[in-house]
Amino acid sequence: MDSRLNNKPTILYVDDEYYNLSAFVAAFRKFYKIFTSSSPRDAMAILKAEDIDLIITDQRMPEMTGVEFLEVLQKEFPGPVRMILTGFTDVAAIKQAINEGSVLRYITKPWDVNELKLIIDKGIKIHELEENQHKLLKILENEVKQKKENIAGMGKNFSKDEMNHIVKLASDQTHDKNIFRNKISILSMRVYSSDLFSEATPSQVIVDYLQHYFDVLIDEVNKHHGFIYKITNGGLLAVFAGSAKNNSQHAVACAFDTVNEFNKNMRMAANHEATLRIGMATGTALIGKIHLKNKLEYAVLGKCVQKAEEIVAVGQGSALIIDEASYNEIKNEVVTEELKTICIEEGNGKLYKVVAKKS
């Protein structure tokens, strides 16, 4: 059933306390189409029957915790954005869930209506961006299918061996798993601190910091037409794949603005000094959906992905470092310094530190 015929985003709210369910519906039914459930079991039935954009669940429930419930959903229903309500009783579990990507963010109790609406709207926006990416992949899939049909029609003009070679070249774009070849730019962004993430820092301080930190990064990536591929421990991978001509420009603009926002809001947050390091790589990658044994994964596969992660790992201090392919596309727009003392395993190309934008 399509739950979005009225054009309202659909939300599933799970809480074992009926008063909380009623209060949520009363506060937000004007803005969203809301489904409620008092148990994870009933919530699963709703997810099988309805198209849900965003899920909010309480952490403390009799059958299972909210984190455990969302971990199950990540495998069976990876599409909806997932959020959790907490009273700070299971900070360690929530911190781990955020780092592993099963939870986008947590919401503190008691929640404020206006603040929670802003959080929900941000989650809905992320869901819309992911859906648009899936639609693009479907279009590409149809184009590849058409190409393969055209190739099949040429069979009468080629030998069997020649046709096998041609079909292999065409199929190389799909990788047999609905994955498509595209030129992308990718940012690997990671926060570094000598003491913030130590055992001496209270878990709640770390969770609060990561929540604000990821909000800053995700906002900037969305603003610059990228999408979040993966959230890692202390960072994320952002992909820019909308237009090959402008991918690198969007990526470097995102990097500059993210650094500015980080330095303004996060550099000295929680009384701990932190630095943001960004690695950027450009190249061809396979993007799309792959079916693993028990779940559906969204994948971005290519040497440039590994290269971006290696660049950010070998960098020093707070810096934006780019590979040679990125440099060749944006060298007229930025001031750079060639780094001759840093090398990475993935390729032997030059690396450059971006110093500033050209006026």
CATH classification of the domain holding 68: 3.40.50.2300
Tokens encoding 208: 């609060």
- Work out the pLDDT band at 45, boundaries 50, 70, 90: very high
Same domain? For 38 and 84 the reply is yes
- Work out the pLDDT band at 31, boundaries 50, 70, 90: very high
Last residue of some domain: 171, 203, 236? 171
| Of 48, 52, 46, 15, residue with least CA distance to 33 | 52
Same domain? For 196 and 91 the reply is no
Last residue of some domain: 123, 142, 158? 123
Q: Give the 3-state secondary structure of residue 228.
A: strand
Same domain? For 237 and 102 the reply is no
Summarised one tens digit per residue, pLDDT across range 224-249 is 988 888 877 678 889 998 765 688 99
Q: In the prediction, which pLDDT does 36 show?
A: 94
Same domain? For 353 and 211 the reply is yes
Same domain? For 228 and 282 the reply is yes
Q: Is 1 within a domain?
A: no
Q: In the prediction, which pLDDT does 249 show?
A: 92
What are the residue ranges of helices labelled H in 29-90? 40-49, 66-76
Torsion of CA 311, 314, 317, 322, to 10 degrees: -20
Q: Is 49 within a domain?
A: yes
Same domain? For 68 and 192 the reply is no
Q: Is 4 within a domain?
A: no
**Is pLDDT larger for residue 50 or for residue 7?**
50
Q: In the prediction, which pLDDT does 133 show?
A: 64
Summarised one tens digit per residue, pLDDT across range 50-82 is 999 999 998 888 888 888 888 888 778 888 888
Burial class (CB in 10 A: 0-12, 13-18, 19+), 346: middle
Same domain? For 333 and 222 the reply is yes
Q: For residue 27, what are the domain limits?
A: 10-123
DSSP secondary structure code for residue 156 in this structure: G
Q: Is 314 within a domain?
A: yes
Q: In the prediction, which pLDDT does 176 show?
A: 44
What is the pLDDT averaged over residues 268-273? 70
What is the pLDDT averaged over residues 312-325? 81
Q: Is 5 within a domain?
A: no
Tokens encoding 249: 């420009």
Does the pTM of the predicted model rise above 0.85?
no
- Work out the pLDDT band at 173, boundaries 50, 70, 90: very low
Q: For residue 320, give every residue at least 6 positions away whose Cβ sits within 8 Å of its Cβ, in sequence order, or none.
A: 252, 255, 256, 259, 278, 280, 353, 354
Last residue of some domain: 123, 156, 191? 123
Q: Is 328 within a domain?
A: yes
Q: In the prediction, which pLDDT does 186 show?
A: 94
Same domain? For 103 and 147 the reply is no
| Helices 203-223 and 91-100, packing angle to 10 deg | 30
**Is pLDDT larger for residue 75 or for residue 140?**
75
Same domain? For 233 and 117 the reply is no
CB 308 within 8 A of CB 188: yes
Q: Is 2 within a domain?
A: no
d(CA 80, CA 268): 33
Same domain? For 223 and 344 the reply is yes
CB 278 within 8 A of CB 323: no
pLDDT at 171 exceeding the cut of 50 = no
Q: Is 138 within a domain?
A: yes
Q: In the prediction, which pLDDT does 280 show?
A: 94
As a whole-number percent, the residues of the chain with pLDDT over 90 amount to: 23
Same domain? For 334 and 190 the reply is yes
**Is pLDDT larger for residue 262 or for residue 318?**
262
Tokens encoding 270: 């929680």
Q: How many domains does the chain have?
A: 3
- What CATH number does the domain containing 232 carry? 3.30.70.1230
Residues 5-30: b if buried by 16+ CB within 10 A, e if exposed: eeeebbbbbbbeeeebbebbeeebee
Q: For residue 14, give every residue at least 6 positions away whose Cβ sits within 8 Å of its Cβ, in sequence order, or none.
A: 36, 37, 38, 39, 40, 43, 55, 56, 57, 58, 61, 66, 69
Strand partners, 282: 185
Same domain? For 229 and 319 the reply is yes
Q: In the prediction, which pLDDT does 169 show?
A: 43
Q: Give the 3-state secondary structure of residue 238.
A: strand
Q: In the prediction, which pLDDT does 148 show?
A: 56
